[in-house]
Amino acid sequence: MQRQVALIKQSLFDQGYLDEQFMELEELQDDVNPNFVEEVATLYFKDSARLINSIDQALERGSFDFNRLDNYMHQFKGSSSSIGASKVKTECTMFREYCRVGNAEGCLMTFQQVKKEHATLRKKLEHYFQLARQAGPKETARRSK
């Protein structure tokens, strides 16, 4: 079981969903805080959902206030990079680029990508954490980075 968990984790890294920042988080996990990473991830998804909503609304309005959009995205990108959400971060960067040049089409398009990556990562991580919990807290804490 643990092995399975480890494999899943490894694949997330390999596929570029997660980067070294995630590893940093794992290092913070220990006996006293055995579910730290999951807690952070949960918090992240909750908070980022809120941001995504805001951006969605802003885009729907059609007014394209690029500054505002960029602000939202800046926050979103900061969060995402904090947990190591690599692909999401990449899409965020693209979105900001479009904002910078004022390309509305590009923004819309990229944002779809952002949402997609975000949703994908969420599913994958949920699955991963679930397994990890089943595998036993020890494993989680001691998972080798």
Partner 1 sequence: MMNPSQGRGLGSGGGSSSGRNKGGEAVVEMFPSGLRVLVVDDDPTCLMILERMLRTCLYEVTKCNRAEMALSLLRKNKHGFDIVISDVHMPDMDGFKLLEHVGLEMDLPVIMMSADDSKSVVLKGVTHGAVDYLIKPVRMEALKNIWQHVVRKRRSEWSVPEHSGSIEETGQQQQQRGPAVSEDAADDNASSVNNEGNNWRSSSNNSRKRKEEEGDEQGDEDASNLKKPRVVWSVELHQQFVAAVNQLGVEKAVPKKILELMNVPGLTRENVASHLQKYRIYLRRLGGVSQHQGNLNNSFMTGQDASFGPLSSLNGFDLQALAVTGQLPAQSLAQLQAAGLGRPAMVSKSGLPVSSVVDERSIFSFDNSKPRFGDGIGGHQTQQPQMNLLHGVPTGMEPRQLAGLQQQLPVGGNRMSIQQQIAAVRAGHSGMLMPQQQPFPRGPPSIRQPMLPNRITERSGFSGRSSVPESSRVLPTSYTNLATQQHSSTSVAFNSFQQELPVNSFPLPSAPGLSVPAQVRKPLSSSSSYQEEVNSSEAGFTAPSYDMFSNRHNDWDLRSIAFDAHQDAESVAFSNSEAFSFSSMSRNNNNNATVAATDLGRNQQQTLSGMVPHHQVYGNGGGGGSSVRVKSERDTAAMAFHEQYSNQEDLMSALLKQEGVAPVVDTEFDFDAYSIDDIPV
What residue ranges bind partner 1 (CB under 8 A)? 21, 24-25, 27-28, 30-33, 36, 39-40, 43-44, 47-48, 71, 74-75, 77-79, 81-84
Nearer to partner 1, 4 or 30 (CB): 30
Rounded CA separation 137/39 (Å): 14
Region for 85 from its dihedrals, namely left if φ exceeds 0, alpha if ψ lies in -120 to 50, beta otherwise? beta
**7 and 128 Cβ atoms separated by less than 8 Å:** no
CA nearest to 12, candidates 122, 133, 138, 89:
122
Q: Which two tokens stand for residue 35?
A: 């579910």
- Tell me how far, at minimum, the Cβ of 91 lies from partner 1, in Å: 15
- Tell me how far, at minimum, the Cβ of 83 lies from partner 1, in Å: 6
- Tell me how far, at minimum, the Cβ of 43 lies from partner 1, in Å: 5
Nearer to partner 1, 37 or 132 (CB): 37
Nearer to partner 1, 27 or 56 (CB): 27
Q: Which two tokens stand for residue 121?
A: 């990562």
- Tell me how far, at minimum, the Cβ of 16 lies from partner 1, in Å: 16
